[in-house]
Every structure is written in C-alpha cells, then in structure tokens.
Amino acid sequence: FEELHILTPGLCWSPDGKKIALSSKAGASDAIFIFDVKTGKHQKLDLKLDGIFSVDWSPDGKKLAFVGLHKHQSDIFIYDLETKKLTNLTNDIFSDSDPHFSHDGKAVFFSSDRGDYTGLASREYFFDIINHNYKQLDLYRIDIDTREIQRITDLPNSNETSVVASRDGKYLFFISDFNGINNIYCKDISNVNWNVDYSVLIKSEDDVRPITNSLNGIYQISLSDDAKRLAFSSMFKAAYNIFVVTNPVDQISTIDKLPLTKFAQSKLLVAKPKEETDTVKVVTKSRVEITYSDSVVIKTGNIVDTSNAFTDIARQNFTNYIFNEKFITREAPVKDSLLFAYDRKDSLGNFIVNKYKINFSPDIIYANAGFSTFYGLLGTTVLAFSDMMGDHQIIGITSLNIDLKNSDYGIAYFYLPERTDFTIQAFHTARFLIQERNRFYYLYRYRNYGTYFSASYPIDKFYRIEGGLSWLNVRRDNLDIYEEPPQLLSLLIPSASFVHDNSLWEFTAPSRGTRYNFTIFGVPALKKNAFNFGTVTGDYRTYFKFWKEYSLTLRLSGGYSFGRNPQKFMLGGTENWINYQFEENRIPIESAEDFLFLTPVLPLRGYNYSQRLGTKYALMNLEFHFPLIKLLVTSTLPLLFQNIRGVAFLDIGSAWTRNSDFRGTVRDVYGNVYTKDLLIGTGVGTRIYLFGFLLKFDFAWNYNLVNFSDTKFYLSLGTDL
C-alpha cells in the first residue's frame, strides 16, 4: 500500500487475533488490506471507493464495517468477507464516522451530524444541508438488517465521537467535549432494550459517567475484548502518544462530573433555554432596570454599582446589557444574498443559478535568479494571475536586456475548469554564443520565438496523456559581421506523451514509487526535400525505500531519431553543472537546427559535456541515497546545516548514429577488453541545502574496464533523478 490515513486511522484486529485489517491509499482509490500477523501475507480488498476510513471487525469475524466516501458523501458500509457483498447502510447526505459493531454484530454504533433525521423516509428526499446544523455530532445505532437508526445522544452543547461497545454488551464508551475538553465517558446499556419503546439514552451529563479527566484532548479510543484495557491517543510533551487505562469500568464510580472550562460555561450561557434566560425590562428613563430570574436586580444609569450585583462571569461580559435608550431598537441586519442560502431560492424552492463572472486578481509577482550551464546567470520576473475558482490562469515572464530583440519574455494562459487542461503560450528568447569559424571567433545571437498549444488529459490520479502543437521560429545572427545573412528556420512540431507518476518525494529526490514518460514528436515533411525528422524517447524511473532513510533509484532511458534531419543527442556531464567542461572546449551548436534540437542526455558523470554525439542513445543510472550528517553547526560562522545527504552512483550509457559503427567494447593486441563507445562512470557525492539552494558535490571517475580515470569534481544545483 502507499500510505495510511493518519487523521482517521482504520486498523483493527480480527476476533481471533490472527489478522489485522487496515485502510490505505492504493492507486486511484482506497482499499482495505488484511494482513496475516504470523506469515506477513496480505489480501487486498479493492472496493472502488474514493476513501475508506476507520475499519472495524465484527465479533463473528465475518464482516467489516467502515466509513466509505462515494459520490462525494461519507456513509457507513458493511463488507461481507464470505459473500464478498458490499452494502451501504446509511446512504444519505449526512456525514457519518467512527463505526463500531455491537456485541452481537447485529448493529453498528457510529457518530453523525444527522440530528433527528433518523427515519428512512427523512433520509431519502432531497435535503438542504446548508440550513442544517452539520457541526453538531451525536451518537447513533443502526440495525444492519432493517437499517433503522436510533439516536443515542442528544447533547446540543457538545460533540460525541469515537464510540466503542464492550463485547459483553454492558457498556458504551465514547469521547465527548461536554466540559470543553475531549474526555472519555461511559454509559451502562446492560438494561437497554433496543427494540422496545426506545428513546434517546443520553440527554445530559447526568446520564453518563466520565472515565478520564484530561487537560489535553483525547482521541481515537480502542477497547480490548475483555474490557480491561482502554487505549487512546493524546498530546504529551508536544507530540501524540498512546495511553492505556486499565480496568476502565472500575473508574465509573470514582468521578461524578467534570468541572466545566470557561469555554464550556460560555457555551451553556449562550444556549440557555428561553424560559431560563434573563429577562430585560426596559424603562424609558435615564435609568434602565434589568431583572434576573434569580432575583438579582441591577440598576444602570449615570452611576453603576456592580460590587454586589454581578457574578464573576457577568462582571466580565457586558454584551447583553443596554446602557443607552437609543440602542434599544435596532434595524434588522441586511441579508447578503451572496453569502446566505436563504435568499438564493426562487418561489418554487429551487436554487437560483447565477452566471459566474471571471475576474482576474494577482496571485504572485516576484523576481528570481537562475543559472544555466550554457548561458550563465539568468534573471526573470514572474507575474501570475487567476480567477477566484482557479479555473483560469495567466502567467507572464520577463527578462529584459537592452531591447526586445535581446530579451526573454512570454505569456501563457491555462484553461483548467474541465478534466482536460488546455494551455496556450507565446514566447521569445535570445541567447548568445561565441563560436569558431575558419579559426576566428564570432558572437552569434539565436532568437527563438513562437507559440505552443498543449492539452493534458488525466486517465486517473497517476496516469495522463499529453499532446501539443508548436510553431517555432529561429533566427541566427552574426553580431560581429552584419553583412552575413541571417539563418532563418520556421517549423511546425506536433508531440504526444504518455505519463505515469506515483512517486513520493523526500529531501533531495523521490524515495518510493515509479514514474515514466514515453514521448513521440517531430517535424513532418510538408513538402519535398523539406526539413523533417521524428523522435521517440522513453524515460523510466523506479524508487525503493528501506531502513527508513535509505533509498535506491533505478533509471532507464533511451531515444531514437529518424528522418531527413534527425535530432542529435549529447551525452555526458550532469544537470546545472556550474564548473562545467565541454569536450574539445566547444558547444556543438553549428546551426539553427542544432540550437533548437540538440538535446543533452544527463547525467553521465565522470565525463565532460558532449562526450558522445548521436541520433540514438541509451542510458542507465543507479543511485543509492543515504543519510550522511544529521546536524552540523560551524564554529567560525554561525551556520546550521541539517540533513546532509550522501549518494553513490553508477552511470552507463552511449550515443551513436549508425548501428554498424557502434563498438561498445574492443580488445587490444594484448587481449585486454576495454570500452570504446560504451561510457561508464561512477562516484560519490553529497547533497546540502544552502540559502534555499540544493547544492550537489560529486566526485566521479570514468572506467574503461581496465582502469579508472583521474577524479572529476562536479558542483551543480537541483534535485536528483
């Protein structure tokens, strides 16, 4: 499985103690996993629900009860392990949680916000949840056969959750914040007949007895089968811990009531029934007389004496007192139809549909700096705007330098309200390269401008299909010889990709999961002898985590370009290499085509950039990540370094054009086998965050099957594979 639900755990034991059932994310949906404790083998129950929480096992071991999310609502489900039948018990708009079987397995206790809506008829028609008090949680019991729901608690000033019943059917334990703090309470249900003249069991604190008196909130209780141990979680020393109460039934008689916190007292004052609340008699004089039901008389006017009239609470709270006659009558508050649902219905009770207006507002405006291996330090300003729903986004990027011909700028619009996301963008970039020609060096400017349209369709949470169409233009100018005519290139490039990604990231790289990308793109031949090519690439990466902070990465990638003007791949080096070196001390860009389509294949450490060039490539990377230094404090400068990671790597790859010319290894006259076109590099390195940048320090050696080269040092930026 991928990950557990931390806030809504669902782990439970089978009645015989041999198996554990838990809910977990599993691909596009949630699933229930049943583990054999002794053998470690597991069974996956893929129930096709968006979410599964709080699993409980029936006393006879034949059923599982849990909360399931389906069609954007949470309900109580029952799964029969023998018949493989899934049943939705509640199936309504109300939110249900914390299911637990009764002692005989014929009913399920749970917490819900349904209030008095327990009958089948009241649960079937359309319900206006906006005007319902969905913040109030109480306890309920539902019969599995009849689906009749019975309300157990009716405590309007508190929330009741996490209900469990003892296996002997005598006691009901649950969590309530009646006194202002989540504590465990118990109700004796040994004499309750659920089928005869049933009424609400708990209407006040007098109907239950507290088991705990904790100052920290208590959550997620669990009761042993013999009811002699009650476990729960609570905060202790700024962290959640597990606590156990032994013989919880014996605690029933030790505590009568819990003292109310000030917060709970204020809630009770606000919620006093009308007949018990204070009455206010307004006298049209310079004085106002307020008479309390408990015979306390307070007179207010020019002089107010509160020494004998106010209680501690009344002395602090004057919000209900009238000090001036002109404030006695107030105008009714204006109802805002944009905020309240009661003004958004027509005469027939149907909701009025208003047309949504798109109004853009700025999300973020910032400037940043970046480093490019080929073009050095770059600075950009980013401006991002979106509407309130986030369905429409506009992003602009600028990096101005002298004039528009020498600057970078672009704008993109994202259309995101539907399942398929669409993007259209226009851009202009300018790059400068010093290139040799006829033993002289000239400064060339490459301008790249055009438009790009793309669409992304998610198959599910981890798979998607992407497609795009680009119109690209490149202009190559010799800035030292203005008489030299510019080289112009204008191309139409379609592309399509299939992408999978369920990887989970940690400090510097993913540690679990798999991701891959298969792409095909190219330039079609629109006329005879025109520039054209096609390229197919694949990149597969999988990650294995073990020993908590150790991980292994395996990457396989390859590419093949074909056509009249096949694309070139440049093998060697690493990403964002600051102290970079090019083979033969030159960037292998000779034309506008090279500027557009020359693609670095990285990393292959132990070698310079452009160590191999070709229209085909294959590359394998293996990386082992491990913790190197947890905490490092320097003495000279007050710098603190944390989580310095170590990495050991092995890179093997090659790039070639003609298959007949490829020689991976050769044998010399002495019979020694060594590599020729096959490149092998290995080494070690560290990863450290410094001033917000992830720095990578690598020491690598290339290996030709006979000996190792001298050490090559790499200083680079960015994450790992």
Query: Cβ distance 445 to 461 under 8 Å?
Result: no
Query: Cβ distance 95 to 72 under 8 Å?
Result: no
pLDDT tens, residue by residue, 386-438 = 999 999 999 999 988 778 888 899 999 999 999 999 999 999 999 888 888 88
Three-state secondary structure call for residue 158: coil
> Which has the closest alpha carbon to 235: 161, 185, 181?
181
Pseudo-torsion of CA 698, 701, 702, 703, nearest 10°? Answer: -140
> Which has the closest alpha carbon to 53: 12, 93, 85?
12
| pLDDT category of residue 297 using cuts at 50, 70 and 90 | very low
Strands of the sheet with 73-80, listed across from one edge: 51-57, 63-70, 73-80, 86-88
- The per-residue pLDDT for 130 is 74
More confident residue, 507 or 333: 507
Tell me the two tokens of residue 180.
Answer: 């202002």
Query: Cβ distance 170 to 190 under 8 Å?
Result: yes
Peptide bond preceding 603: is omega within 30 degrees of 0, i.e. cis?
yes
- The mean per-residue pLDDT over the stretch 658-673 comes to 90
Query: Cβ distance 352 to 332 under 8 Å?
Result: no
- The per-residue pLDDT for 183 is 93
Distance of CA 278 to CAs 265, 281, 290, 321, 501, Å?
Answer: 16, 10, 8, 11, 63
pLDDT tens, residue by residue, 471-505 = 999 999 999 998 889 999 999 999 999 999 999 99
Work out the mean pLDDT of the chain and round it to a whole number: 85
Residues in contact with 487: Cβ distance below 8 Å, sequence separation at least 6, in sequence order = 474, 475, 476, 591, 592
- The per-residue pLDDT for 529 is 83
Tell me the two tokens of residue 457.
Answer: 């369709």
Query: Cβ distance 612 to 656 under 8 Å?
Result: yes
Predicted TM-score of the model (pTM)? 0.61
Give CA–CA dist 452/464, Å, rounded. Answer: 19
b/e for 134-148, b at 16 or more Cβ within 10 A?
eebbbbbbbbbeeeb
Residues in contact with 74: Cβ distance below 8 Å, sequence separation at least 6, in sequence order = 51, 67, 68, 95, 96, 97
| pLDDT category of residue 226 using cuts at 50, 70 and 90 | confident
- The per-residue pLDDT for 328 is 54
> Which has the closest alpha carbon to 448: 482, 421, 483, 408?
408
CA–CA–CA angle 679, 682, 688 (5° rounding): 130
Q: Which of 199-203, 301-305, 463-467, 670-674 has the highest mean pLDDT?
A: 463-467
Per-residue pLDDT at 254 exceeds 90: no
> Which has the closest alpha carbon to 587: 441, 368, 712, 388?
441
Give the range among 263-272, 312-321, 385-394, 407-416 with minimum mean pLDDT.
312-321
- The per-residue pLDDT for 330 is 52
Give CA–CA dist 83/6, Å, rounded. Answer: 30
> Which has the closest alpha carbon to 446: 501, 497, 408, 420?
408
- The per-residue pLDDT for 288 is 41
Query: Cβ distance 148 to 141 under 8 Å?
Result: no
pLDDT tens, residue by residue, 626-647 = 999 887 777 666 667 778 999 9
Per-residue pLDDT at 614 exceeds 90: yes
Q: What percent of the chain has pLDDT over 90?
A: 49
Per-residue pLDDT at 57 exceeds 50: yes
| pLDDT category of residue 256 using cuts at 50, 70 and 90 | confident
* Structural domains of the chain sorted by starting position, each given as residue range(s) with its CATH number in brackets: 12-268 (2.120.10.30), 272-354 (no CATH), 502-721 (2.40.160.50)
Three-state secondary structure call for residue 251: helix
Tell me the two tokens of residue 477.
Answer: 């100018």
Q: Are strands 229-235 and 599-601 parallel, antiparallel or unpaired?
A: unpaired
Residue for token digits 């709270």? Answer: 317
| pLDDT category of residue 550 using cuts at 50, 70 and 90 | very high
pLDDT tens, residue by residue, 29-41 = 888 999 999 888 8
The backbone torsions φ and ψ at residue 585, rounded to the nearest 5 degrees and listed phi first, read 55, 40
Beta strands in 6-106 (DSSP E): 12-13, 19-26, 29-36, 42-49, 51-57, 63-70, 73-80, 86-88, 96-101
More confident residue, 323 or 412: 412
> Which has the closest alpha carbon to 166: 241, 233, 248?
248
Per-residue pLDDT at 124 exceeds 60: no
Give the range among 131-145, 165-179, 349-363, 372-386 with minimum mean pLDDT.
372-386
Distance of CA 606 to CAs 235, 447, 555, 690, Å?
Answer: 51, 33, 17, 25
DSSP secondary-structure letter at 277? S
Per-residue pLDDT at 131 exceeds 80: no
138 bridge partner residues? 112
| pLDDT category of residue 306 using cuts at 50, 70 and 90 | very low
pLDDT tens, residue by residue, 6-53 = 777 668 889 988 999 988 887 778 889 999 998 888 888 888 888 889
DSSP secondary structure letters along 304-351: ---TTT--HHHHH--TT---SGGGSS-PPPPP-TTT-GGGSB-TTSPB
Per-residue pLDDT at 143 exceeds 70: yes
- The mean per-residue pLDDT over the stretch 78-102 comes to 91
> Which has the closest alpha carbon to 556: 520, 515, 505, 519?
515
More confident residue, 495 or 671: 495
- The per-residue pLDDT for 50 is 86
Instruction: State CA 116 to chain mean position distance.
Output: 36
Query: Cβ distance 302 to 286 under 8 Å?
Result: yes
Q: Are strands 599-601 and 569-571 parallel, antiparallel or unpaired?
A: parallel
Residues in contact with 687: Cβ distance below 8 Å, sequence separation at least 6, in sequence order = 507, 508, 644, 645, 646, 647, 694, 695, 696, 720
